[in-house]
Amino acid sequence: MGSKWQQEKKNDPFYKKAKNEEYRSRASFKLKQLDKKFKIIKTGNTVVDLGASPGGWSQVALEKVGEEGLVIGVDLNRIKPFEEENFHGIRGDFTTDEVQNQITKLVGGKTKVLISDASPSLCGIKNIDQLNSYDLIESIIEIADNILENKGNLVIKAFQGSEYNTILNHLKKRFKILKTTKPSSSRKKSAEMYIIGLGFKGNNHN
């Protein structure tokens, strides 16, 4: 199983592209494709990346925000620092108050963009994995409610399952525009989808 996965990885065009273009992860191309389509991150923005390790999405965010912007990456695992001084890594659990307080201090209260390619630890039992994913997304939505600027943007990964429509309904109340897509760099056999919220309406969800 391990050797087959390694072989698939080596033959993956986006894995090769990431190596050639010095991106930390093939996932970098997911955010690049999403941003090209939906114009999520702009120069000078503050971006919070939840579940950031190894830093593939933070790397793209740093390119987009330029020197005037700020990127905060959060993960349970250490994120290898970038050369750019406008990147801050936090090692910890972003569902905890302690880490959320750290994020709030670093961004100065609010962020323009919140992105997350995070997945829960998978056990292989479909229903349990989907419920754990749903719980994680609920935590991210709660964080968005607290730190996302008015008219801010959100990108999160979700897996299609029994709770998928519930997630979409929660987010429709919060954003002016809500889109779902699967970028071409996502693996075909993956059930992952990306939800893009544009124009955060604040805490008034009515």
- Tell me the C-alpha distance between 143 and 197, whole Å: 14
- Tell me the C-alpha distance between 66 and 14, whole Å: 24
pLDDT by residue, tens only, the chain of 206 residues: 455 535 555 566 545 555 565 666 878 889 999 999 999 999 999 999 999 999 999 999 999 999 999 999 999 999 999 999 999 999 999 999 999 999 999 999 999 999 999 987 777 777 777 788 889 999 999 999 999 999 999 999 988 888 899 999 999 999 999 999 987 666 666 778 899 999 999 766 54
Active-site annotation holds for 157: yes
- Tell me the C-alpha distance between 117 and 157, whole Å: 5
All structural domains of the chain with their residue ranges: 26-200
Tell the CATH topology of 26-200. Rossmann fold (3.40.50)
- Tell me the C-alpha distance between 57 and 51, whole Å: 10
Query: One of 32, 64, 112, 157 is an active-site residue; which one?
Result: 157
Q: Which of 114, 133, 34 is nearest to 73 (CA)?
A: 114
Which CA distances in Å does 190 have to 6, 18, 131, 153, 167?
17, 19, 17, 24, 19
